[in-house]
Structure 1
């Protein structure tokens, strides 16, 4: 392999400025993460503890192997909405008895763990990851069901969760429910549709309708225990497979269930990894604060790939897209990384060929985004940019090896699609705090609207004041800028989290290990490539 030689000077003014800007953005992200970690706040946390119960993240920590990492997913879900940051649920990937599992834990300190629309999005994304990567799904359940004040946004899409649980089971992906408290109404189907169910004596309550609803519906008087208590479900209904004495015992039983799954990875094992030659701390100073300033993605690769080794493919052709082969934590990867932002016909054709080669070699693909999209203009339209861009998108869409995406800088327009954005089902997608994503840049979008508005006014014979135009452009630019930032996008679960650039190698290593739970096989064929 070819060893990358870094030209980055960490002490230069440009790197120093980029690092300071990145650290400022990270501080903002950390402050929002802290809100998710705080759950419902001190009052509800203390009330929960006073009942002798563990917090959601404490349950996760005791479930996982000692000192095992936990890759938390979508921690900023619901940011910018009327619901608390974190969406009242914690999701992620962790190791239980040596087995990588997807964990979903309700946070009962936030409105009793009730589900809001963002809870549904976040949970279903976690279930999707379990399905795509064939990882056991462990639900740590304590929820009052749907937040009824928002039922119109929860009821219809929420049914997908129960469907997906049954499909996981049918696909041979184990599902486990450890019930620590309430699992009521629709939430009762989480244990009802799981392969393995553990309930805690005198704590777990599972029923379709609680005593008040039963009274209203049938006139019957009943109590929690006889209607849906753990003892009843263990001895009478048979819904509980295991009856735990307390929360710690439930987590112990859950670990033993995973140990007995006989779960085996279906992908190839990694080679022995080698550390990069360059300090990952320097990743904080690579991306300029102004994304119009280009940066070399090879500097990123030199700090995340094993041994900083990278065999570049077609380096002299389509130079604004870097493609090539390397290893990351021992796993082979094919890399597509934007160098100068714009994708031309050459870059698009190069990408399509490279993706085909990766599929032939059963090699996962890593997409590192910094693109303003495909080139526009008469010369490029006549040169076939539409069909060449379509060729790249065709290849991404039909490639069946695992895809991982990291938004480092810009990710605009159809370039976001061609670089395997969220709509193209990457197994995992993360953003750096420096990333921005939208249909186009704020200035460009405002300018387009200005041109259209002027033309419309002229066609109607109406005046168009420059003052009104300037005000409109300023308002549009502010809106698009706000909606393109990582906090906004992560809040809507359009990525799996905003990560510190210095953690990129670790995060991608965890993801590559996770995707190898499923077979890694390339596509047998692609759609028609328009030549």
Structure 2
């Protein structure tokens, strides 16, 4: 979820600019989208239906533990996690919430009892991690861990200060086997961020117990709320069991004790609002300077971003022109296409987005052939040479198969493209608009290739291959096995198997399922794409422009 003052006020303008023979016009490309057509209206209605489903699922994350636990928390005088974030970030600034559907489809509540995102604090872009104490006391489950580690990775890679808003009862003990060993990375990450000169700040509002005590213990700056913060390795019951010592919460780990005796607290806050004021003051005192590129002038697209709702077909086997997406997110709708006549199933070219230069790779007809792979490899090298970030707009069924294409070198050409993606050091951003199947997911910078940020549209699908294709392959294998054994093939069982497999793969390729497992950073409304990418490009430029690196051996 991305919250701004007016995220969909795209400011799109239509002008009577002159057309040119290359299909563009002065100041921006012409759109061929027919918004009055039945096809467009059907696609738009399908997308709006998916967005309604997305709103319902994201509402579950916002609801936290539900009314009963929200009221209990308020009765104790506590602010909710998102209220704390709202008071921490600058008024009327954007907050880009990340992974709001974490844990979707699991036994745990949607959102995974933590809110993470990027917000602007005193003019500084920061990663914010806020425990939600209304969900099982803010206890960390396996999805909380994955979401928190992803936030730390974003902070490190993009050189963003990390602010923890702490109130957690520690690990969810029934699932400790999935948390304890990998969970140590949280503390390692905090120390590595500090060693890299990236500030870490903890504002402790309530419990921070057991392993959670090391979050403030390993932060550069620590603020604790008087009479509310409780930070100890072992609470009074555990201390009594382990040592026989009798103690109370305050003397064992209260904010006053840590401020006056242990020295763990750097600042003692009167209440939650005071803690957030102190947190903002700490960020203001960092003297933070972005080390990347500054953006140039920003121009709105000429074409209305609202029209993005009617571009992707319900049936992803039907191709669509990604240029219609590009002209609705690029500054001035300008797109300087590279090799437009070569490898036409992949669109490549240069644009600006919120003033930042980007190189764009977008699938036009799904399948990647040898020409497309070679074109992509060259384009990625050019972007790497000019230190231009890359934006991948995915809608791919993978690399082409068949005797002709194998003999033509599709393996080595696909490997060439994947080599280029893997070793390019400029920031990569990925948006999955439609299909993301097979090795095409890799070549177009899927999650395994560590793009700085990856978002999906509600229309997206991702799996090793399409449901029907996968079920068909299993059917062919089963039929061949029966033939080899000299047994008749059970056609009725085959039909049942195919239906079951198709249903399973379809369910497991849906964006909610994938986002719930943190294979993206969020499912987004297509109309928000330009704004979200602009926030991401601004965030990545906190880090210096990375040095170019070499590529692996290209098989020519």
TMscore range, shorter length? over 0.9
Match of 2:294? Answer: 269
User: Residue 204 of structure 2: which of 179, 186, 196 is its match?
Assistant: 179
| Residue pairs, 1:254-403, within 5 angstroms | 254-403=279-428
User: Structure 2 CA distance, aligned partners of 1:460 and 1:82?
Assistant: 43
1:49 aligned onto 2:74:
yes
| Residue pairs, 1:243-254, within 5 angstroms | 243-254=268-279
User: Structure 2 CA distance, aligned partners of 1:338 and 1:157?
Assistant: 37
User: Residue 215 of structure 2: which of 190, 203, 210 is its match?
Assistant: 190
Tell me, yes or no, if the aligned pair for 1:360 and 1:522 is still in contact at 8 Å: no
Match of 1:146? Answer: 171
User: Structure 1 CA distance, aligned partners of 2:459 and 2:108?
Assistant: 25
1:495 aligned onto 2:495:
no
Match of 2:240? Answer: 215
Q: Secondary structure of the equivalent of 2:29?
A: coil
Tell me, yes or no, if the aligned pair for 1:135 and 1:173 is still in contact at 8 Å: yes
1:30 aligned onto 2:55:
yes
User: Residue 441 of structure 1: which of 466, 476, 481 is its match?
Assistant: 466
Task: Give 1:3 deviation, angstroms.
Answer: 2.4
Match of 1:431? Answer: 456
Tell me, yes or no, if the aligned pair for 2:27 and 2:332 is still in contact at 8 Å: no
User: What value does the CA root-mean-square deviation take over the aligned residues?
Assistant: 0.7
Match of 2:537? Answer: 512
1:120 aligned onto 2:145:
yes
User: Structure 2 CA distance, aligned partners of 1:195 and 1:240?
Assistant: 11
Tell me, yes or no, if the aligned pair for 2:359 and 2:383 is still in contact at 8 Å: yes
Tell me, yes or no, if the aligned pair for 1:359 and 1:521 is still in contact at 8 Å: no
Q: Secondary structure of the equivalent of 2:361?
A: strand
Tell me, yes or no, if the aligned pair for 1:2 and 1:311 is still in contact at 8 Å: no
What is the total number of aligned residue pairs between the two structures? 531
1:10 aligned onto 2:43:
no
Match of 2:493? Answer: 468
Any unmatched runs of 5+ in structure 1?
A: none
Match of 2:133? Answer: 108
User: Structure 1 CA distance, aligned partners of 2:263 and 2:522?
Assistant: 39
Task: Give 1:358 deviation, angstroms.
Answer: 0.4
User: Structure 2 CA distance, aligned partners of 1:131 and 1:266?
Assistant: 14
TM-score (norm 2): 0.95
| Residue pairs, 1:220-235, within 5 angstroms | 220-235=245-260
Match of 2:263? Answer: 238
Structure 1 residues 397-422: Cα deviation after superposition (integer angstroms, max 9, x where no partner): 00010000000000001000000000
User: Structure 1 CA distance, aligned partners of 2:424 and 2:291?
Assistant: 19
Is the deviation greater in 148-157 or in 328-337?
Answer: 148-157
User: Residue 69 of structure 1: which of 84, 94, 107 is its match?
Assistant: 94
Tell me, yes or no, if the aligned pair for 2:331 and 2:353 is still in contact at 8 Å: yes
Task: Give 1:2 deviation, angstroms.
Answer: 6.8
Tell me, yes or no, if the aligned pair for 1:2 and 1:310 is still in contact at 8 Å: no
Task: Give 1:64 deviation, angstroms.
Answer: 0.3
User: Structure 1 CA distance, aligned partners of 2:454 and 2:476?
Assistant: 35
Q: Secondary structure of the equivalent of 1:505?
A: helix
Structure 1 residues 443-465: Cα deviation after superposition (integer angstroms, max 9, x where no partner): 00000000011111111222211
User: Structure 2 CA distance, aligned partners of 1:56 and 1:229?
Assistant: 21
Task: Give 1:149 deviation, angstroms.
Answer: 1.1
Structure 1 residues 326-357: Cα deviation after superposition (integer angstroms, max 9, x where no partner): 00000000000000000001000100000010
User: Structure 2 CA distance, aligned partners of 1:521 and 1:146?
Assistant: 37
Match of 2:555? Answer: 530
User: Residue 45 of structure 2: which of 20, 40, 47 is its match?
Assistant: 20
User: Structure 2 CA distance, aligned partners of 1:162 and 1:522?
Assistant: 28
User: Residue 89 of structure 1: which of 93, 114, 126 is its match?
Assistant: 114
User: Structure 1 CA distance, aligned partners of 2:337 and 2:29?
Assistant: 10
User: Structure 2 CA distance, aligned partners of 1:21 and 1:271?
Assistant: 37
